[in-house]
Structure 1
Amino acid sequence: MSVDKPREIALKILYDINENGAYSSIAINKGLEAYELKGVDRAFITELVYGTLKWRLSIDWIIESFSSIRLKKISPWIINILRLGIYQLMYTSRVPESAACNESVRLSKKYGHAAAGGYVNAVMRSVVRNREGIKYPNPLNDLQKHLSIKYSHPEWMVREWLCEFGEDFTKELMEANNGIPDFTVRVNRLKASMEQLSESLKSEGLETSPGRYAVDALVIKLPSSIARLEAFRKGWFQVQDESSMLASIVLDPKPGELVMDICSAPGGKALHIAALMEGRGEIIARDIHMHKLELIRQSAQRLGINIITPEMYDACVLDHNYIDRADRVLVDAPCTGLGIIRRKPDIKWSRSIEDRDEIIRLQKKILNIGARYVKRGGCLVYSTCTIGHRENEDVVMGFISENPEFQLEDMTPFLPGPLKRPQAKKGYMQLFPNTDGIDGFFISRLVRKPI
């Protein structure tokens, strides 16, 4: 019995992520590149994988509600087939019920034992018949569990956000996390203007619109394979979310300066910094993984940038050769990544409170070392792609209390109009997907006192 190829590919990718701990973006790219696929099939596979990952906790609740077998007793292949099928039933409108059910049964017969097909069919048909009557935990008895199941976020995350942001904001945040983010690129002004890029993309049948904040941001609607676009091959743009662009904008690098990006890979911010420096000066871009540094080299070559020096170096180790030398230092620190759940939904299931505690210790160490490279009168930007005060404001305020030669500086002169907020005047800003429409990001700007 033949199976639907896109669904089978999506299943294999999900299995790799859920059972082998593969990163979603890497697993999807690897899975798609292994086959010659039409654009519509690539888009469908991507939607299936990310959608199923986003709603995994809610889907597992539904499976447990209709399965005669406990979740832990179901084989990994079959549980992922059920997740994939129920996602199509519950969270998409364009997949016919019959297709979702029948294709799930076919997959189960190929990847399970003899009775698997009947079991999957029974669960799927039960969901179809009773979907309107699915009951979630009562919010009056347990609000935390109710929100966790309904919006498919782990309970520890919900608990933290309820305490920090309140019920309404937490709901809005989780709804945004389950949405589809804009696909945003940054024009490379070293090679092209925004008008040239827009016209090139339009000529290849793509619809674009301006970004929300950054003047160099462009949103591409329903993109196909980006690497095949002529403008990409020419180096006219780089894929980058606006929140990431804002960190480089706040750093405000100038032509001719020495800039250090000590947690650089895959290099989006370093590449942006080079453009802001008009291709003049020196950027030291560091990471601990050689294969990630190679990504920076490849992107720099495509974009026509020759002022970036990628170096394999541990940000936790002080480099005495650069003490007090850099005009500007960017510490885009390792973090839990809770601000980019929309793009990488597997973060919800791969992170824990224990992870965060260890990450915070790492952030503090890297920030203190990065500060040693900043010369008198120089600038230090600390940023993360996460939300929550523990990894952000608390780290910065703790750093300042121990390093009085640094002080926060008003960020509003560097920000686009809509982001000139009272908080930014204090020298830091937290962005959220639900309120700002871009990735959740924290940015702070510190300066080292001249004397």
Structure 2
Amino acid sequence: MPNIYFAFMRLHRNLVFAVIDGLMMIFNEGAYADKVVEKLLKRDKRWGARDRAFIAETTYEIVRWKRLYAEIAEVKEPFDRDNIWRIFAVWATLKGIKLPDWKYFDGTPTRRIKGRFDELSRIRKYKESIPDWLDELGTEELGNDLWSKELHALNQQASVILRTNTLKTNKRDLQKKLAEDEIETSFLKEYPDALLLKERSNVFTNQAFKDGLFEVQDASSQKVAKFLDAAPGMRIADTCAGAGGKTLHLASIMENKGQIIAMDIYENKLKELKRRAKRNGAHNIETRWIENNKVIKKLYNSLDRVLIDAPCSGLGVLRRNPDAKWKLQPEFLSNIKETQQQILQDYSKMVKSGGKMVYATCSILPSENQEQVAKFLTSESGKDFSLVKDEKVLSHQSGFDGFYMALLEKK
């Protein structure tokens, strides 16, 4: 775990204080890590790229390994400020960082920390830092070996992947344009529109982003729109569109021809989608807020394609949302499975005869994926559908997010 990059690092008081404040909000107030980090980075305009990277990466890393570090530090939730300092001292010690002579680090048992780390690293729930119930669930659904491999992969830092907006440019031109700004990227085999960043960077401030030449979208997520088998001129609904990552990809695939109806139960997300569509130059998107079931009924038997990117546990995207494993509760999982099935039953009615539908989640659990599709196909609403193909993407095999996609056709 010690890292040569960190060994020579000097801790700066204002940066460490920002991390401690952030962790207090995430662990004790239930705040979302990404929102907290975004807020922290605006604290001091004088901070450079390395300072900002330290705050973001340290915060995420301590969130990711919360259970392991808290166990080593011998502190229990709810954490007070002293507890958070002890957890921070564990992180720094394991990174090989020399602790400065600050009162917060008085009496830090460096040798004991390393010993406890070696000891706890033999027990998976500590080694991979996960709640007991989630560890048991993963074992039950995926089997011991597969769950161990997947869990390890989901604890690695996620790469930054861009998706070229082919309405405005192509992958090679985008790569050249980014290189001019010293952002180096590489192509990814099997992902036609993707560019992988060689080094992490805040690409949202880049002019190419402002001009709508790309979106940030994980490679696995980029598979979903392609899986729908969409073509220019079709009439398509993206039913759980959110802020529209996959909607925008569909607009590119359809070359702005035809119609995409982007739907969601959250109106504010659709407003964000409209902003993004404008930046992308995507003109064939219409947003509809699902305020009641009439919105769905109006579209019965009328669409060539329907995408259901269903709400889920999000276990496949823990690499980028490490706080999700601490927020997730068993009862949420039971409820979300009911919601998934209800959505399949209701939204499938919009597919016309001969049309197709994709059910997708960013979960790796069969109970949210294959089992939901199987249950739907044996139901009254699903009797006219057949499974064309499905694909499960596991993080330890792909190196990207965990995902599931099933393509269904209506007779």
Which TM-score applies when normalising by structure 2? Answer: 0.92
d(CA) in 2 for partners of 1:292 and 1:234? 21
1:259·1:282 contact (CA, 8 Å) conserved in 2?
Answer: yes
Inter-CA distance 57–315: structure 2 relative to 1 (3 Å threshold)? farther
1:318·1:369 contact (CA, 8 Å) conserved in 2?
Answer: no
Question: Alignment partner for residue 71 of structure 2, among 61, 78, 96?
Answer: 61
Q: Secondary structure at the match of 1:386?
A: coil
Question: Alignment partner for residue 113 of structure 2, among 127, 131, 134?
Answer: 131
Could you tell me which residue of structure 1 aligns to residue 6 of structure 2?
Answer: none
Give the CA deviation at 1:300.
Answer: 0.8
Question: Alignment partner for residue 71 of structure 1, among 76, 81, 102?
Answer: 76
Percent identity, please: 30
d(CA) in 2 for partners of 1:28 and 1:316? 37
Inter-CA distance 152–189: structure 2 relative to 1 (3 Å threshold)? same
Question: Alignment partner for residue 238 of structure 1, among 199, 211, 215?
Answer: 215
Give the CA deviation at 1:42.
Answer: 1.4
Inter-CA distance 167–330: structure 2 relative to 1 (3 Å threshold)? same
Q: Deviations over 1:1-50 (max 9, x none)?
A: x9722222222222221111122222222222343231111111111111
d(CA) in 1 for partners of 2:206 and 2:299? 40
d(CA) in 2 for partners of 1:317 and 1:155? 42
Is 1:26 aligned to 2:35, yes or no?
A: yes
Could you tell me which residue of structure 2 aligns to residue 365 of structure 1?
Answer: 342
Question: Alignment partner for residue 227 of structure 1, among 201, 204, 220?
Answer: 204
Q: Deviations over 1:88-122 (max 9, x none)?
A: 222x35xx2224xx46x4xxxxxxxxxxx4xx522
Is 1:281 aligned to 2:258, yes or no?
A: yes
AA of the residue aligned to 2:196: V
Could you tell me which residue of structure 2 aligns to residue 7 of structure 1?
Answer: 16
Question: Alignment partner for residue 407 of structure 1, among 378, 383, 386?
Answer: 386
d(CA) in 1 for partners of 2:233 and 2:299? 17
Question: Alignment partner for residue 121 of structure 1, among 85, 106, 125?
Answer: 106
d(CA) in 1 for partners of 2:401 and 2:327? 19
Inter-CA distance 351–277: structure 2 relative to 1 (3 Å threshold)? same
d(CA) in 2 for partners of 1:3 and 1:252? 52
Question: Alignment partner for residue 211 of structure 1, among 184, 188, 196?
Answer: 188
* Unaligned runs of at least 5 residues, structure 2: 1-10
d(CA) in 2 for partners of 1:77 and 1:317? 50
Is 1:180 aligned to 2:151, yes or no?
A: no
Inter-CA distance 17–138: structure 2 relative to 1 (3 Å threshold)? closer
AA of the residue aligned to 1:431: V
Give the CA deviation at 1:171.
Answer: 2.2
Question: Alignment partner for residue 43 of structure 1, among 41, 48, 53?
Answer: 53
d(CA) in 1 for partners of 2:152 and 2:294? 40
Give the CA deviation at 1:175.
Answer: 1.5
d(CA) in 1 for partners of 2:270 and 2:42? 22
Could you tell me which residue of structure 2 aligns to residue 413 of structure 1?
Answer: none
Inter-CA distance 138–433: structure 2 relative to 1 (3 Å threshold)? closer
Q: Secondary structure at the match of 1:365?
A: helix
Q: Secondary structure at the match of 1:33?
A: coil
Could you tell me which residue of structure 2 aligns to residue 444 of structure 1?
Answer: 406
1:381·1:443 contact (CA, 8 Å) conserved in 2?
Answer: yes
d(CA) in 1 for partners of 2:73 and 2:189? 39
d(CA) in 1 for partners of 2:387 and 2:299? 23
2:68·2:120 contact (CA, 8 Å) conserved in 1?
Answer: no
1:329·1:379 contact (CA, 8 Å) conserved in 2?
Answer: yes
1:213·1:242 contact (CA, 8 Å) conserved in 2?
Answer: no
Inter-CA distance 335–298: structure 2 relative to 1 (3 Å threshold)? same
Could you tell me which residue of structure 2 aligns to residue 301 of structure 1?
Answer: 278
Inter-CA distance 216–319: structure 2 relative to 1 (3 Å threshold)? same
More helix per residue: 1 or 2? 1
2:264·2:288 contact (CA, 8 Å) conserved in 1?
Answer: yes
Inter-CA distance 291–354: structure 2 relative to 1 (3 Å threshold)? same
Is 1:432 aligned to 2:411, yes or no?
A: no
d(CA) in 1 for partners of 2:188 and 2:383? 38
Inter-CA distance 438–75: structure 2 relative to 1 (3 Å threshold)? closer
Q: CA RMSD in A?
A: 2.0
Residue pairs, 1:330-345, within 5 angstroms = 330-345=307-322
Inter-CA distance 319–396: structure 2 relative to 1 (3 Å threshold)? same
d(CA) in 2 for partners of 1:49 and 1:324? 48
* Unaligned runs of at least 5 residues, structure 1: 65-69, 106-116, 140-145, 410-426
Give the CA deviation at 1:274.
Answer: 0.3
1:315·1:369 contact (CA, 8 Å) conserved in 2?
Answer: no
1:190·1:275 contact (CA, 8 Å) conserved in 2?
Answer: yes
d(CA) in 2 for partners of 1:6 and 1:315? 47
Give the CA deviation at 1:179.
Answer: 0.8
Inter-CA distance 316–337: structure 2 relative to 1 (3 Å threshold)? farther
2:233·2:258 contact (CA, 8 Å) conserved in 1?
Answer: yes
Q: Secondary structure at the match of 2:356?
A: strand
Give the CA deviation at 1:315.
Answer: 7.9
d(CA) in 2 for partners of 1:332 and 1:315? 19
